[in-house]
Structure 1
Amino acid sequence: MNTLLLFGSMLGLALLGVPLIFAILAASVLTIMVVRPEMPMVLISQVFMNGMDQFLLLAVGFFFLAGEFMNRGGITHRVIDFAQAIVGHLRGGLAQVNIVSSLFFSGISGSAVADTAAIGSVMIPQMKKRGYSGAFAAAVTQCSSVVGPIIPPSIPMIVYAVLAEQSVGEMFLAGIVPGIVIGLCLMAAVGILARARNFESSPRVAAREVLRTGLGALVALMTPVIIVGGILGGIMTATEAGAVACLYAFVVGTLHFRELDLSGIGHSLVAAAKGTSIVLVIVGASSLFAWVVADLRLSQAIGQAITGYSDNPVVFLLLVNVFALLLGLFLDPLAALVILVPLLLPSAEALGISAVHFGVVLVFNLMIGLTTPPVGYLIYVSAHIAEERPERVMRESLPFMIALFAALAILTFLPAVSMTLPGLYRGGG
């Protein structure tokens, strides 16, 4: 009955149009008031505030700001030029460039939406001029942008690390190889479509051009090296790495590329403040939701239900994939993490599944949701840039969705893909 109250009120408020995170918060408060009427309201607010009052969460604001500085500081064109030099000669060259640009850019922005907006605003018009349909260009852009929150730095990975009490450095490391695997699966899909549709290819550029564009992009591509290397080397905490990334992005944008002006700085500060505020509210609500889940013993009930059906870790991960993909159709990824981590992580760990591997699989599942209707933000962002109807973009996205599901299967059934680098780090440490 109490479980029905929690999820029923949450669903009812969401259907009434209440933003999901506030629906989660209100449902949690209502359930506490009914189940624990003796609990003072001040304790509810303390649980909420304690969730946000974590030093590690300062890193979220810093990474948001660093990404904004880099986005507005002249990075995008240099990253795309380098990608053009190394893969533009392949059949379907501009589509391949789009994917590789997203791989590079993900190490700067850490955001799928930022990736779609930045890469799409440059690549989609270019692809249309070269004869690609706007819907196809938008589909490539939006599906390749899911890599943004997988390769470090990644806001969802930080949020998961906080919720699951895991190392941010290990979560960042765990996303590197999966991000490359996702990119290769998408490039394979482009290669197949390029042959079927007889897409163009460009002449191979000289090594000198590759070197020139590589040096132009190197300053930008050093960002993830500084962040991950500083954290794993014990030189900086995740929060300090975020602050250093901000300083580095500011210096690069203002003094090196000289494209980050006062207006850009102001817009970056406002955008970073908005993004950080949203994440903090989500984490605070997650603390209260997790408290209710623990009090109602929902995790144990779910664990017993799953293990009663099967105690096979592979079956469990398959069920998690189905559940997370369905939830991702309707929920924002961070809000979905709030619900899924306290419910499913205890069962995963009880079955011997690494929390780090589970986190990578879960985050990638929810990122796929950004490319699917009805909530998929990336569909509408890319369709707007391409001046296409969203339904046409969805249709063209189908081959790339198959590639994303293939990558998900690889990450799910081959834990070594995400666990090798964290394992090497632990062994070396």
Structure 2
Amino acid sequence: MTIALLFICFFALLAVGMPIAFAVGVASLIIIAFDPTMIAYVVTSKFFSGIDSFTLLAIPFFIFAGELCTESGLTARIVRFANVLVGRFFRVGLAYVNIISSMIFAGVSGSITADSAAMGSLLIPSMKKEGYDSDYAVAVTATSGTIGALIPPSILMVLYGSLTSLSVGQLFLGGIIPGFLFGIVLILVAYVLGRVRGYDFRLSHVVEDSGEPYWKELLVAFRDSSIALIIPLIIVGGIVGGFATPTEAGVLAVACAMIAGVFFYRTLDWSKIYEASFRTAILTAVVMAIIAFSTLFSDILTRNDFQNWLLGAIGMVSENRYVHLSLILIMMFVLGFVLDVTAMLIMFAAPLAIIGATLGFDPIHFGVIIVMVSLLGACTPPVGTLLLIGCSIAGIPLTRVVKTVGWFVGAQLLVCIFLMFVPEAVTWIPSLIFNR
């Protein structure tokens, strides 16, 4: 009864337009106020304990690193490298540039919103200029932005690891192959849709053709973007090697981005650093508010045995653990239509992790799959954050892109299903490094 009332209050508050962080918090407070078994001090205790984590300090540092890369022009250099690499030789080449750039930038910021906003502001206008339809450009940009939460570093992996007491380093490594699989299927869908629509664009106008030999231009582009390729190696190597915690790795990412912008490219000045800091503070405040309120929500679910209730409910359908996992993933996918991915993970990560362990799934495999399916909600209306960012940049309504983005999200969902039955694709790299 308590769980049902909690969800009813939450969705009712969402329906009247209350911001998600406050809807989560107010719904939780209503339950605490009318439930005699709940103690008032739980509110302040859980509210502050939710954000009182050294690991969570990694989040603002990774956000700041991504903002510095955008301000210093490193993002544009990443796009140039991807453009020289594939943009001029293949049909729908700029769509490939978009996806590959997101895969590279994912190794710097770890933020899906930073990735989508940075790539979208550069590539959506360029794709429209070349003749791509706006809905196609937005769909490619939004879905490729999800890769930022899989290829390390990843803010969502840091969050999931913090909430479930799992190794962030192992989660980082577990996301590598899924991240590349997301990129591959997005390229395939972009190619098929591009051929169906008659796109045959090879030379991108993101940068002017220098007239230099291809190999020389590629070397120059690689040199200019090499820092973006080095940063993820430093981050992951530091965590896996035991030289740095995720938070300290975030500091290293900021230091690398700062050094590159100030001393190598000489494009960062105090005004740009201030702008990057200001945007980081706003994004961090939003994330931390969601974490604080959602921690209270999650605690109420756990106290009322939500995990056992859910296991009992899906156990009535079948005793097969893969059927159980499939139903959990369907639930997370559907919730993604109305919930922000960050809030959804905070609310359900802890109880779902208990369910995964009860069903006998490897915790790293289970965690990566949960994060992957939750990410799809960022590309589905009406609350799809990445879709909203892309549509605002392209200047089109959300309804115009729904059909197109469905093809890309469908392909990503197939990857999730594949990985559900092939856990080695997630656990192989962590097992090599950590001797699991």
Aligned to 1:390: 398
Greater displacement, 143-152 / 383-392: 383-392
Aligned to 2:49: 50
Partner residue, 2:322: 314
**Distance of aligned partners of 1:252 and 1:329 in 2 relative to their CA distance in 1, 3 Å threshold:** same
CA distance in 2, matches of 1:9, 1:386: 35
In structure 2, relative to structure 1, the CA distance for the partners of 1:406 and 1:252 (3 Å cut) is same
CA distance, structure 1, for counterparts of residue 128 and residue 198 of structure 2: 16
Please show how residues 390-429 of structure 1 align to structure 2 within 5 Å: 390-427=398-435
Q: Which residue identity lines up with residue 299 of structure 2 in the other structure?
A: W
Residue 222 of structure 1 corresponds to: 230
In structure 2, do the counterparts of structure 1 residues 243 and 321 end up closer, same or farther at CA, with 3 Å as the change threshold? same
Cα distance in 2 for residues equivalent to 1:108 and 1:279: 19
Partner of 1:331: 339
Q: How far off is 1:380 after superposition?
A: 2.4
Partner-residue secondary structure (3-state), 2:382 = coil
Partner secondary structure for residue 148 of structure 1: helix
Matched, 1:239 2:237: no
Tell which deviates more after alignment, 229-238 or 268-277.
268-277
Which residue matches 1:197? 197
In the superposition, relative to structure 1, how do residues 388 and 293 fare at CA in structure 2: closer, same or farther (>3 Å)?
A: closer
Map 1:31-70 to 2 at 5 A.
31-36=31-36, 39=39, 41-70=40-69
Partner SS, residue 108 of structure 2: helix
Q: Return the alpha-carbon distance in structure 2 between the equivalents of residues 144 and 174 of structure 1.
A: 18
Offset of residue 225 of structure 1: 1.0
SS at match of 2:238: helix
1:310, distance to aligned residue in structure 2 (A): 2.4
1:157-214 deviation digits (Å, cap 9, x = unpaired): 1111111111111111111111100000011112223333343253797222222211
Q: 1:130 to 1:239 in 2, by over 3 A?
A: same
| C-alpha contact 1:328 1:366 (8 A) present in aligned 2 | yes
Identity of aligned residues (%): 37
TM-score calculated relative to the size of structure 2: 0.92
Rounded to whole Å, the distance in 2 between the matches of 1:54 and 1:76 is 30
Q: Which residue of 1 aligns with 2:86?
A: 87
CA distances 1:75-133 after superposition (whole Å, capped 9, x unpaired): 12211111112222122111111111111111122222222221122212222222222
CA contact (8 A) 2:102 2:148 kept: yes
Contact 1:299–1:342, Cα closer than 8 Å, also in 2: no
Q: Which residue of 1 aligns with 2:27?
A: 27
Aligned counterparts of 1:8 and 1:203: Cα–Cα separation in 2: 53
**Offset of 1:328 from its aligned partner?**
0.3
Which portions of structure 1, spanning 4 or more consecutive aligned residues, are displaced by more than 4 angstroms? none
The equivalent position to 1:379 in structure 2, one of 378, 387, 403, is 387
Structure 1 unaligned residues grouped into runs of 5+: none
Aligned residues: 427
Give the corresponding residue for 1:106.
106
Which residue of the other structure, out of 255, 261, 264, is the alignment partner of 1:256? 264
Contact in 2 for aligned 1:51/1:283 (Cα 8 Å): yes
Rounded Cα–Cα distance in structure 1 between residues aligned with 2:405 and 2:297: 35
